[in-house]
Amino acid sequence: MHIPDGYLSTRVWIATDLLAVPAVAVLARRAQAKFDHHRIPLMGVMGAFVFAAQMINFPAGNGTSSHLVGAALLGCLLGPAAAAIVMTAILATQALLFQDGGLLALGANVFNMAIVGVFAGYLPFAALRGSRAGLFLAGFCSLLSAAVLALSELLISGVSMPPTMLSISFAWFLVSAVIEGALTMAVAVALERIQPGCLRKPTTGGRAWVFAGGAAALLGSAGWMIASDRPDGLQSLALKTGISGNATSIITSPLGAYQASFVSNPWLAKSVAGVAGLVVIYVVCVALSRGLRATGEGA
């Protein structure tokens, strides 16, 4: 789902950047106006959890893989405005530190996943009052909306996709949307069972957030052991259309491709990169939430 630089035409990535920047600014003000200081640690914990979960790809059929995107899960737990800010922080960190998603294409990824993906997931969750059906539809609608946008941006950029290829890609995204819905529901229900009421009123502490933090640490440090090396849907589509060779990287990072280049052992290199990402995401999300609180109090 992370679009790298080189896939989108100049006019498309500029347009999505111009859409994403003011949208995130508006959502930051909205999150600031309704900010609850009790959510400061929660934003960090859930940001770290979603980051770690995105690192774990699993087979999704037809030689492809999938992973939890988490936009809907964040929306259900934090509210849409705060979730969009956390998701933006995750995507920016992934692009800057791990070269996962392009810097020029960051606006497209933010618009697709952090804005449309969050709100497309939050609406059915709110409409169905947080029921299991609402949680499933949240994940399903979130991923499918982001996927359709990504496909549309590629088509507008001039990427040639025969009808058969487009149909296969859409079918794969439908499967991934079902998986996203199931995972969103499973995680949210598990948190609610561990700490009843956490979906309705998240707090600073509680067993649910300890569980989420522990799961993030485990996935970030050792999840790569069970992760699939198959390409995800977008990567598979890029290979089939021949645009995979267009991928470019504006910057280099010692943590690129989720491997710490300064660690000689390849297994340990993955663990170090994962843990480093967890720490950075947690710190960034907590700093952003404290900033929202401070500006809100000073307004």
pLDDT digits (tens, 9 = 90+) for 148-197: 999 999 999 999 999 999 998 999 999 999 999 999 999 999 999 998 88
Please give the Cα distance from 208 to 126 (Å, whole number). Answer: 21
CA quadruple 91, 97, 103, 107: dihedral, nearest 10? 10
Under 8 Å between Cβ of 57 and 294: no
Q: What is the pLDDT of residue 296?
A: 61
pLDDT digits (tens, 9 = 90+) for 224-268: 999 999 999 899 999 999 999 999 989 899 999 999 999 999 999
Q: What is the pLDDT of residue 63?
A: 83
Give the ranges where 5-131 is alpha helix by DSSP (H). 10-33, 40-54, 71-78, 80-97, 106-109, 117-127
Q: What is the pLDDT of residue 297?
A: 61
pLDDT higher than 60, residue 204:
no
Min mean pLDDT across 35-44, 63-72, 214-223, 247-256 is at 35-44
Domain limits, the chain: 10-298
Please tell me what DSSP assigns to residue 262: T
* 222: CB partners within 8 A, 6+ apart: 271
Considering all CA atoms of the chain, what is the largest pairwise distance in Å, rounded to the nearest integer? 56
Q: What percent of the chain has pLDDT over 90?
A: 80
Under 8 Å between Cβ of 173 and 112: no
Domain 10-298: give its CATH code. 1.10.1760.20
Res. 34 pLDDT band, cuts 50 70 90: confident
Please tell me what DSSP assigns to residue 40: H
Give 65's strand partners: 59, 232
The residue among 137, 84, 131 whose CA lies nearest residue 111 is 84
